[in-house]
Amino acid sequence: MAKVLAMLVAVLAVVVALSAGGASAQGCNAGSLAVCAGPIISGSTPSAACCSNLRAQRGCFCQFARNPAYGTYINSPNARKTLSACNIAVPRC
């Protein structure tokens, strides 16, 4: 459990740091997906806030997926599971 928590904190730190200057074109804000870190890392059920933020950022998924800092997380099976749980189509990039 401590390993997962440490990984979650690390992912959140990367997402927040990179969202300040990384993926900001046309309202893309990877930092808004921090609320989805738990489901994307552990496969847990996403919250309503997570699903709402995913819907707001869905046009940015391919941009996020191409970013080496968080592409691994965006392209993970748990990310696909999270999208499905939120009734959001998995994009084809």
In terms of residue numbers, what domain contains 32?
2-85
Give residue 26's pLDDT: 60
Q: How many domains does the chain have?
A: 1
DSSP structure string for 1-55: -HHHHHHHHHHHHHHHHHHTTSS-GGG--GGGGGGGHHHHHH-PPPPHHHHHHHH
Of the candidates 10, 11, 86, which has an alpha carbon nearest to the alpha carbon of residue 50?
Answer: 86
**Size (the chain), residues:** 93
Give a yes or no: residue 64 inside a domain: yes
Give a yes or no: residue 76 inside a domain: yes
Give a yes or no: residue 57 inside a domain: yes
Express each pLDDT in 40-57 by its tens digit.
999 999 999 999 999 999
Give a yes or no: residue 91 inside a domain: no
Give a yes or no: residue 18 inside a domain: yes
Average pLDDT of 13-38? 66
At 80, is the pLDDT very low, low, confident or very high (cuts 50, 70, 90)?
Answer: very high
